[in-house]
């Protein structure tokens, strides 16, 4: 016998969980299925654990360099098991709180196990058959494994495995210069490991403009990371690695292969990501895809906005859409890289006419006072309208400063208005006065 629900949600990530609670609050009978830990990648193996460990790495860096600020701290040693223990405590707190809120929601049934389609409107989880006219896929992604000869013959880790490492690597080699690669490179260098980052591209962070990527590489090198660019890896052989540990960080793979999508007729792209329209509907009516699995920007805040779009269309005015959505992101190196809107490459591709406002962080009084003046601020300003098209802020609290520019873009403020605005001194916001001078 099948169990019938008004909504069937697969995955308890940052889209599935709040959607389940909203639909239940509207009187729907909801089943939400999870094959792993409640909370998805962000809470369990992504944002929460990595940023918790990044914080520990920053403390180690500050303590080791205390003399810069006139503070003598003596010898500094990192207790990696203690760092990992703190990380586990924070993750456990987030995960258990998330689970508790979910199971306590009236109208929501949490079902643990892996789900797969057995019909257009029916899925199997273990020995249970679940039916619904509305199915929401929020299954996320996992670390990609490159098809490189010899890789399986040597010990290697993905970003999940390295989070549980309690012995500090003598020499960590990182394959991949994306967000995960640069964050872990700086983190483990600050923990005390020798770190070599190998990247096949000409510059780090493929989506960024060259000047931003070059500045990021310079910061990593200044921190002692051996950054090697333009290195193509064809194969691995024992003895060639030159390091004690290998982290492979070369992208993500969608968790769609076990869903048996063909039975339901749901289409994917060549990489396995679910095809959706601007309302996050798949090609099959009554089946939606939310979060990383739909091939959009792979960020927690985007998954959460996916939930809001779907909820608005089902429970609200029906006007939810991803069209013209501004997507910010932050790389949590130290200093941070905050990004919003168009890069120069994108602006040129779109035929936009723009000027560049650019200023080093050592022009910012607050950054100098804090001894944190690495990096720069950069914004693209449209010539015809004087409005901001995009910005990158590589500097202390770069993500927060970029968010100020995001708010200006959302409100249609011009560069002149930001130049003339009165901001408190000494703060980071007043840097916008000089950036747009």
Which pair of tokens denotes residue 314? 């089902």
- Sign (positive or negative) of CA dihedral 299, 300, 304, 306: positive
The active-site residue out of 159, 199, 301, 425 is 425
Residue 425 is among the residues annotated as catalytic for this protein:
yes
Instruction: Name the residues annotated as catalytic.
Output: 425
């Amino acid at each position: 016998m099948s169990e019938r629900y008004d909504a069937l949600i697969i995955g308890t990530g940052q889209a599935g969980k709040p959607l389940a609670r909203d639909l239940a609050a509207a009187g729907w009978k909801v089943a939400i299925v999870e094959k792993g830990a409640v909370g998805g990648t962000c809470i369990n193996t992504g944002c929460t654990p990595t940023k918790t460990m990044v914080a520990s790495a920053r403390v180690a860096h500050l303590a080791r360099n205390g003399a810069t600020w006139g503070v003598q701290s003596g010898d500094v040693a990192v207790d990696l098991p203690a760092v990992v223990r703190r990380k586990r405590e924070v993750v456990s707190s987030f995960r258990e709180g998330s689970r508790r809120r979910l199971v306590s929601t009236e109208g929501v049934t949490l079902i643990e196990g892996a789900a797969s389609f057995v019909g257009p409107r029916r899925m199997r989880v273990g020995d249970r058959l679940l039916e619904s006219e509305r199915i929401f896929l929020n299954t996320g992604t996992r670390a990609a494994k490159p098809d490189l000869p010899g890789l399986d013959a040597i010990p290697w880790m993905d970003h999940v495995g390295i989070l549980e490492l309690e012995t500090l690597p003598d020499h960590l080699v990182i394959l991949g210069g994306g967000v995960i690669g640069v964050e872990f490179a700086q983190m483990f260098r600050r923990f005390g490991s020798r770190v070599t980052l190998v990247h096949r591209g000409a510059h780090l962070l493929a989506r960024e403009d060259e000047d931003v990527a070059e500045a990021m590489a310079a910061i990593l090198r200044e921190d002692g990371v051996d950054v090697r660019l333009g290195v193509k890896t064809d194969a691995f052989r024992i003895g060639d690695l030159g390091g004690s540990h290998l982290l492979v960080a070369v992208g993500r793979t969608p968790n769609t292969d076990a869903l048996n999508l063909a039975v339901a007729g749901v289409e994917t792209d060549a990489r396995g990501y679910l095809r959706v329209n601007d309302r996050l509907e798949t090609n099959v009516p009554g089946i939606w895809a939310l979060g990383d699995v739909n091939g959009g920007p792979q960020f927690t805040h985007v998954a959460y906005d996916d939930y809001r779009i779907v909820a608005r269309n089902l429970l609200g005015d029906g006007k939810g859409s991803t069209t013209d959505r501004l997507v910010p992101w932050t790389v949590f190196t130290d200093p941070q890289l905050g990004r919003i809107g168009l890069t120069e490459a994108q602006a040129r591709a779109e035929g936009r006419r723009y000027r560049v406002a650019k200023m080093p962080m050592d022009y910012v009084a607050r950054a100098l006072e804090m001894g944190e003046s690495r990096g720069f601020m950069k914004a693209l300003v449209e010539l015809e309208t004087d409005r901001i098209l995009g910005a990158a802020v590589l500097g202390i609290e770069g993500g927060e400063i970029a968010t100020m520019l995001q708010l200006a873009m959302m409100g249609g403020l011009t560069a002149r208005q930001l130049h003339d605005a009165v901001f408190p001194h000494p703060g980071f916001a007043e840097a916008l006065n000089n950036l747009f001078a």
